[in-house]
Amino acid sequence: MSDSEKNSEPEKKLAFEPIPAAIAIAVGLIIWLVIPTPEGVTDNAWHLLALFVATIVAIIGKALPIGALAMIAITLVAVTGVTAETPKDAINDALSSFSSPLIWLIGIAVMISRGLIKTGLGSRIAYYFISIFGKRTLGIGYALAIAELIIAPITPSNTARGGGIIHPIMRSISLSFDSTPQQGTQNKIGRYLAMVNYHANPITSGMFITATAPNPLVVDLVNKATGSEIQLSWTTWALAMFVPGILCLILMPLVVYWIYPPQIKETPDAKGYARENLAKLGKVSSHEKIMLGVFTLMLLLWANVPAMIFGDQFSVNATTTAFIGLSVLLITGVLSWQDVLKEKSAWDTIVWFGALVMMANYLNKLGLITWFSSNIETAIGMTGVSWVGAVVILTLVYLYMHYFFASTTAHITAMFAAFYAVGLSLGAPPMLFALILAAAGNIMMTLTHYATGTAPVIFNSGYTTLAEWWKMGAVMSVVNLVVWIAAGLVWWKILGYY
């Protein structure tokens, strides 16, 4: 190639987006260097906040792919030593989340979902759903929400439920309508169904103590804070949350439909189409039977059925259950190791979600969240507002602080007790405020693509953009909060809870 030909070639595009990258760096430097460390906060905690906020800004601006930004964030935490005194401890801290069971539960749930596609069982289930509810896209959305609700009481891992069980079915339904991110046709029906798939998850999580892992923690914290005066039993929780939860579940598919309407709205031939394809699939294959058996086994273990029958010694951790499921699929040949390696979204999710969880965890460990909570308590006390005003402020701050958390358990552990104590000290009825914060602790899952374990599974399937996800999350957080609290105040008064 001649020099003139070389010179005529277009210059290679930068690996990163310069403007979003510059904004993220500027934000991080301003927090780190310009804004003084507040009294009561360590320099390390403040500097980690700078790194965390800069990373979130870079993710929002798409300065680089999210996995690449996660790698850079891990590097910066290790190099700056904001979490530890020695380089060895710093890199150990930076990589600490990769031993988190939640991270691997998310990744393996995605890997297992490959089995539904490979065996054809996902398509069979999808066609069955379409044959029943397939006249309209909205009907399919409600079918997914109903499926979430039915299995929620017996699935303590909301990630396993929304990401490991419902999401593969949702993907198979989208695929049957040729709506995939790979083809650029996600807006036909897939984007809508993905958002319904996700936003049903926080609602059903809030309806039962056993629908997500952090709920029993709330029960324990309320019990301790009130000296055992308030004891939320399974029945009490379910009864209190049923009416507001059902109303939110009815509204949610309509709100998503209004904000991001699918291109395919009516599917008059879908039922016939589904029946024809079910006939083409023929009898259930041996690999489909194994896949179905694995899902049944996982559902029983996630529901803690063996422990209920034989005792606590037979209880199996949710992530261990996922490992069991994947192992059976590998041993039986339903999935090959190459299938697992090719599931790029699973490995990508493990990397970027692990980095965000690590940073959020150390913001808590370094005392920044405790400092923030105590300042909120002081500020509200100085305003002289009534308990009603205090409850409103506390609930909103508690919910929207979740933008800084990648785990509902971590959020509740860090903030629930402090916020609940403040509300009680200002006169809030103990049972009422407990139910409000319990609801908010699940509604906050709607906000971001890292808000809870289910989020990265569905987000990384590619059906929505980051902007679409955050917009829908913000809208649903308001809708759910208004409906849940408004309906709750009436329903809880009828029940005599305050």
Of 486, 415, 453, 413, the C-alpha closest to 205 is: 453
pLDDT in tens, 345-374: 788 878 887 888 788 789 878 988 778 777
Spatial neighbors of 65 by CB under 8 A, at least 6 apart, are: none
pLDDT in tens, 188-222: 999 999 999 999 999 999 998 878 878 888 888 88
Cα 88 from Cα 217, distance rounded (Å): 33
Cα 262 from Cα 268, distance rounded (Å): 15
Burial class (CB in 10 A: 0-12, 13-18, 19+), 106: buried
Cα 305 from Cα 316, distance rounded (Å): 10
**Phi, psi values for residue 24, rounded to 5°:** -65, -45
> What pLDDT was estimated at residue 339?
93
How does DSSP assign 155-174, residue by residue? -S-HHIIIIIIIHHHHHHHH
Stated pTM of the model? 0.73
Structure tokens at 228: 């055992």
- Per-residue pLDDT of the chain in tens (498 residues, 90 and over written 9): 555 555 544 555 778 889 999 999 999 999 999 999 999 999 999 999 999 889 888 887 888 988 899 999 999 999 999 999 899 999 999 999 898 887 888 788 778 878 877 888 877 877 787 788 778 899 889 988 998 888 888 676 788 788 887 888 888 888 888 899 999 999 999 999 999 999 999 999 999 887 887 888 888 888 888 888 888 888 889 899 999 999 999 999 999 999 999 998 887 766 777 788 788 888 999 999 999 999 889 878 877 788 889 988 888 888 898 899 999 999 999 999 999 998 887 888 788 878 887 887 898 789 887 787 778 777 877 777 888 998 999 999 999 999 988 778 778 877 787 788 888 888 899 999 999 999 999 999 999 998 998 999 999 999 999 999 999 999 999 999 999 999 999 999 999 988
> What pLDDT was estimated at residue 437?
96
How does DSSP assign 73-86, residue by residue? HHHHHHHHTTT-SS
> What pLDDT was estimated at residue 9?
47
Cα 169 from Cα 124, distance rounded (Å): 9
Spatial neighbors of 347 by CB under 8 A, at least 6 apart, are: 107
Of 229, 239, 328, the C-alpha closest to 287 is: 328
> What pLDDT was estimated at residue 130?
76
Q: Does residue 365 sit in helix, strand or coil?
A: helix
> What pLDDT was estimated at residue 399?
95
